[in-house]
Amino acid sequence: MAKTGVCRLTCEHRDRPLGIDCARPRFSWWMDDSRPGAMQSAYHLQVADDEGFAATAMVWETGERVSAESVLVPYDGAPLRSCSRYYFRVRLRDHLEQWSDWSDASWFETAFLEPGEWQAEWIVPADDDGDSGGPPPYLRRRFGASGEILSARLYLAARGLAEVSLNGSRVGEDVLSPGWTDYDARTQYLTYDVGSLIRTGENALCVILGDGWYSGRIARVRDERRCFGARPQLLCELHLTLRSGEKEVIRSDASWMWRTGALLASDIYDGESYDARAELPGWDSPGADEAGWSAVRVVGPASAAWDGTVPSSSGGPAIDAKVVPPVRAVEELTPVRQTEPESGTYVFDLGQNITGWARIRLTAKAGTTITLRFAEMLNPDGTLYVENLRSAKATDTYVCAGDGEFVWEPRFTFHGFRYVEVSGVASAPGPERITGVVLHNDLEETGVFQCSHPLVNRLQSNIRWGQRGNYLEAPTDCPQRDERLGWTGDAQVFIPTAAFNMQVAPFFAKWQRDMADSQGPQGTIPSVAPAIRYMTPADENDGGPAWSDAFVICPWTVYEKYGDLRIVAEHYEAMSRFVDSMRRRSRGLIRSDQFVEDWGGYGDWVSMDAPEGSTIGATPKDLIGTAYFAYSVDLLRRMAEALGRSRDVVMLRDLHRRIVTAFRGEYVTASGRLLGDTQTSYVVALAFDLLPQELRQPAVDRLVRLLELRNWRLSTGFVGTPLLCPVLTRFGREDVAYRLLLQEEYPSWLYTVNQGATTMWERWNSYTHEHGFGPVSMNSFNHYAYGSIGDWMYTSVAGLAVDMSEPGEPVIRIAPKPGYGLTGASAELVTPYGAAKSSWTMDEGLVTLDVLIPANAWARAVIPAGQSDIRIDAEEGEAHLEDLVVPEDNADGLYTFRVAAGRYQFVWTTAASG
């Protein structure tokens, strides 16, 4: 008999997290069991401060707990100690009452569990006189280690960016760290294991600071670099544990020294300048000559704000352990083509639009300036198209120190680009000398989609690359121009797609804090997070419908996809304040801001039915606003139910009912027509269940008619497009949804593919072979919002989804819609329980669907077999088919089954054309 097992242990969604500040971490695991119907019936979890799990080392164990729970089980033992490693392991009992062996042990390590534990002080170069600018500072601190080192941990925060070295060796593989926050509210820190780099005797801890999002140029402010302070700041502690048991702490304080070096300037928008002639050989080694170095200035204790003020006991800016994997170099690309559009200027085509930088390996004479420029597209003459960058210079320069070969890449900038222009070299470099380095938060890639249509597969690649290019510290709108902000509307429409492609729960846990930090005193949420101070004045920071609603939609989606209720609980009160702000600012529950004249949000942004010269569509902004008001209230009601807040459930249900009534009275005619009569008006009303039952079909019919009148082309913008195909499919018109997906005429998803897109574009016509480039003011070639079609492709075309928001219900949903121009599609997803798969092919009307359900999970499969008989095959093993595939319903030709863990094949015939 096969024996069950346990694998893939995680803590807080991560494998062996180093440096968490969560007092009650949560544990997850997979049941490692390929038997059909395998289910966990009980588990036993242990947490100890020693990997031997001796009784004296145990800090918590559950005992043999009868439960199928295996996702985010919260710690409930003795208080954890700061800066300590803990080990955990699990064994489980299967559906046949057999216990597994103990799993291999995993671990997590705490950092500072209380903010007052920091001993370090914020330090800054002593020339910080309040004026911004100046070369990035190099900082160092010599220290001695008096005995054999047992362990060493570096805890590092920065206002700005930091690259660390210890005794001449680079610390960590992350870049652009510790990342981006609203520095008025919080700063992140990272934990590094540096035990292998410490020497007995003399050591040197060294840091280069970059301006980054703290003191660099952000959000199109041409002449103003400092978004917060003038110069970047450092806070760090190095904790040494000696073999003798003694502990030593080296911290940032007045004993540190600083100076400038070869790095002359760094800016996220404008690029980096480096003069190798000014390098400081060995500057980060213990024995470096410190002549010419100066003392730093202490800003204040760890609790101090960036301007040095020390808040009252009520608390100041938070210092949080980073909850999301940091930005890393995740891939490298070699150019596929090289040209010389102008004499001495060489352009290298990576073949893919990316976010990152270029590494160069070139040969030049001393004093030569090598200039790198970056662009997403080329002009017809082969030169870089940079007009869409607006004021961003996106230029890196390197000055050679001596004759011969050198290798260089920047530290504190990034670019959005496909093309690299190199000038200043004496002759054409080979393509192997230019490397495109791809950067983004190092999130696990979890989903795979493919189908029989090559253009749709290219579309999926574009969606994936668009996400990779914009999931860099925040879900940004674009990575190339003088913007690169965490636009909330873009993020909320794309998060279901994002959660398929990557493990984004930690990413959105961080970004939800960014949104909470930006919340205004009246409860409003701005349109970007982290907040940009001049864009979000405290009295007018309402981001508007579909944008500010991200504050409610994103945590709901994280709960739905990952079963993570903590993000909901932590932000429930703030979400309630946001909903109340909408209620107070509405006119009779119609969401039309009565406090800010002419402001109702961004409408259906870049809709095709927008008036000439406008980016705001014809759908009334208050209609969109009221629809989203109802939707946010309904989602908050569902979250209140999940949290057991019964009084709030009653209140929110009544508020939702009244908003729906107001919506119908304001925007819906007796025949079911919607005010504005646009595709988007019908889509939002249907998506959010705002119409009475008897008017839903007329609304669907009108939506289809509007599409037909445009020759089966959409006119929707950022608001309507993500909902369009899901609404059509939900109301039985997947034939029209497929028609839109496979449409190749303008505007459509495949139109941009045929124009050469390798990422998602901001506009359907950002570039066309016929007319060239679109309006330069808003013309990003890496803008993921329209990539939100991905969620429909995964859930309806391939037919695979996860929903953990309904306790007791199957968490995996199998519901493909085969045919309509495709002969096959498949999706594979790493779910919280293990790998799941839905894959179908169709041959002359015969559909074969292969399904994989992971152990300890159930699925609900909805098979669109019509009047056809369904043949079901399974690897039965010890179980019987009737116990593994349980019929639940048969209505309108949709056969619903409850399906246990295992591999299955469903076969039926269909009339849908392939």
Please list the active-site residues.
483, 762
Residue 188 β-bridge partners: 320
Cα 645 vs. chain centroid, distance in angstroms?
Answer: 29
Residue type, 191: T
CA distance 856 to 241: 42
CA distance 668 to 769: 41
Residue 91 β-bridge partners: 44
Per DSSP, the three-state class of 213 is helix
CA distance 241 to 109: 15
Instruction: Please enumerate in sequence order all residues whose Cβ is within 8 A of that of 80, keeping only pairs 6 or more positions apart, or say none.
Output: 23, 25, 59, 86, 110, 113
* Axis-axis angle for helices 693-709, 734-742 (nearest 10): 30
DSSP state letters, 227-293: SS-SS-EEEEEEEEEETTS-EEEEE-STT-EEEE-SEEEEETTTEEEEEGGG--TTTTSTT---TT-
CB 765 within 8 A of CB 772: no
Q: Which residue has the tokens 């213990």?
A: 286
CA distance 489 to 785: 9
Closest listed residue to residue 456, CA positions, set 820, 835, 78: 820
For the chain, the C-alpha Rg in angstroms (whole number) is 28
Which CA distances in Å does 537 have to 520, 540, 572? Answer: 8, 5, 24
> What count of other Cβ atoms lies within 10 Å of the Cβ of residue 533?
16
> What count of other Cβ atoms lies within 10 Å of the Cβ of residue 621?
23
Query: Tell me, what DSSP letter sits at residue 326?
Result: P
Residue 258 — φ and ψ, nearest 5°?
A: -150, 160
Residue type, 378: L
Which CA distances in Å does 562 have to 8, 23, 500? Answer: 15, 20, 11
Q: Which helix (H) or strand (E) segment is 428 a member of?
A: none
CB 413 within 8 A of CB 396: yes
DSSP state letters, 126-151: TT--S----PPEEEEEEEEE-S-EEE
CB 122 within 8 A of CB 319: no
CB 342 within 8 A of CB 443: no
Start-to-end Cα distance in the chain: 43
Q: Which residue has the tokens 């110069």?
A: 231
Residue 299 — φ and ψ, nearest 5°?
A: -80, -40
CB 443 within 8 A of CB 471: yes
| SS3 annotation, 60-123 | EECCCECCCCCCCEECCCCCCCCCCEEEEEEEEEECCCCECCCCCCEEEEECCCCHHHCCCEEE
Residue 204 β-bridge partners: 142
Q: Which residue has the tokens 């309006």?
A: 775
DSSP state letters, 793-859: IIIIII-EEE--SSTTS-SEEE-----TT-SEEEEEEEETTEEEEEEEEEETTEEEEEEEE-TT--E
